[in-house]
């Protein structure tokens, strides 16, 4: 099986021993506490789940700036973007380096303890630091960019150091059939006997174009299996909730994929909408969970018109160090239904087509049709999937 990034073994920050975990929770009741941001909480979950392996915890300012600028930590370790614990809240007692601090979850009632950090440093993110990180990671400082706005609203107190993760927040509770750690997915790949595995990232329900893209990738790469790996954390307003996406994807796989060829899983992370940089992070996740190939499509992880259509593909050849990742990238074009060929195709591969030969619906038009109870064209969406989405929109 493919090795995790930068290490022979997957490294996680989760406290696996139940007795030790209970001791940590008891200890946390007497520790200074900070309620962290949703993005920091998602980072903790990913550290605990092994997706950020081999990171031992939250980055300090020097590593954050180095990662943002060069995709490497100060010691040379590859990491595509900063993993931070930013907050605008501090405990009543002054924090000191060397202390153990309870990190409380902002996304669960009562803000229970999510993790304990041993503070290596307490630093202030200056306006200049913030601008540099956002420019490098998001390629813009525009406050209208949803990712930039979210990052800038977290606060400027940066807590760094190794952490002990004590639970997986709401993800394991709300999505027990879907949330999986990187280690659990590796175990499932091994149990299935898959040697070559392609992963597909999604924050949306899968329409026929997505379905076809996955099947094309599996066939051309000769893969034993496909992992549809969906983001379960926070999205921008208007995106489809995770439970609806989960139901739609499971229905598609049940009806339209070869049995036992697809694994459906999810991970606990908030979408960054960082375009090319997030595409590299997504590839990092997938290598850590055991995938050998990863699909990068048009405007991967993008939002608005901040990124070029294929920037998320070219970054791998132009900016990512050659020795950084073992996972192989499957570069895909936009897929659409061809009325001329009566099938879904990658648009760049059918040069004799005109725009009128494709069935293309904007996200806005799809939402309008669903909310009005109009059936989506079967050339665009499988009817079983469209029914789930229509029910969701009509309940809004």
Query: 């790949």: which residue's tokens?
Result: 189
Angstrom distances, CA of residue 194 to CA of 37, 145, 151, 292, 327: 38, 39, 38, 10, 15
Query: CA 55, CA 58: separation in Å to the nearest integer?
Result: 8
Helix (H) or strand (E) holding 389: helix 383-394
Report which DSSP code applies to 355.
Answer: G
Query: 């280690």: which residue's tokens?
Result: 183
Q: Is 156 a catalytic residue?
A: no
Query: 């939002």: which residue's tokens?
Result: 303
User: Are 201 and 300 a contacting pair, CB within 8 Å?
Assistant: yes
Q: Is 250 a catalytic residue?
A: no
Which one of 111, 156, 204, 331 is the catalytic residue?
Answer: 204
Which one of 203, 245, 286, 382 is the catalytic residue?
Answer: 203
Give the residue numbers annotated as catalytic, written as ranges.
203-204
């Amino acid at each position: 099986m493919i090795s995790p990034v930068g290490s022979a073994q997957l490294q996680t920050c989760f406290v696996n021993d139940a007795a030790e975990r209970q001791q940590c929770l008891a200890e946390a009741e007497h520790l200074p506490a900070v309620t962290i941001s949703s993005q920091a909480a998602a980072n903790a979950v990913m550290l605990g789940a092994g997706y950020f392996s081999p990171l031992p915890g939250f980055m300090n300012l020097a590593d954050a700036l180095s990662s943002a600028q060069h995709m490497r930590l100060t010691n040379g370790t590859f990491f595509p973007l900063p993993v931070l614990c930013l907050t605008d809240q501090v405990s009543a007692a002054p924090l000191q380096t060397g202390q153990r601090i309870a990190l409380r979850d902002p996304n669960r009632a009562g803000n229970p303890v999510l993790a304990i950090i041993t503070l290596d440093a307490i630093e202030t993110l200056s306006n200049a630091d913030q601008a540099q990180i956002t420019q490098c990671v998001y390629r813009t400082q525009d406050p209208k960019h949803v990712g930039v706005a979210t990052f800038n609203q977290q606060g400027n107190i940066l807590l760094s150091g190794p952490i002990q993760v004590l639970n997986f927040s709401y993800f394991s509770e709300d999505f027990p059939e879907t949330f999986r750690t990187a280690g659990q997915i590796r175990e499932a790949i091994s149990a299935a006997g898959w040697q070559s595995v392609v992963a597909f990232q999604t924050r949306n329900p899968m329409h026929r174009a997505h379905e076809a893209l996955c099947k094309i990738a599996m066939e051309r790469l000769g893969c034993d299996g496909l992992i549809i790996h969906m983001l379960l954390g926070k999205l921008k307003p208007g995106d489809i909730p995770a439970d609806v996406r989960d139901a739609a994807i499971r229905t598609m796989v049940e009806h339209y994929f070869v049995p036992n060829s697809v694994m459906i899983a999810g991970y606990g992370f908030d979408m960054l909408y960082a375009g090319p940089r997030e595409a590299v992070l997504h590839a990092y996740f997938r290598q850590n969970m055991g995938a050998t190939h990863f699909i990068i499509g048009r405007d991967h992880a993008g939002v608005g018109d901040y990124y070029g259509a294929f920037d998320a593909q070219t970054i791998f050849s132009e900016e990512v160090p050659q020795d950084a990742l073992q996972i192989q990238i499957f570069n895909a074009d936009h897929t659409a239904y061809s009325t001329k060929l009566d099938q879904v195709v990658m648009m760049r591969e059918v040069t004799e087509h005109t725009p009128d030969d494709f069935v293309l619906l904007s996200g806005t038009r799809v939402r309008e049709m669903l909310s009005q109870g109009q059936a989506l064209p079967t050339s665009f969406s499988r009817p079983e999937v469209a029914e789930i989405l229509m029910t969701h929109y009509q309940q809004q």
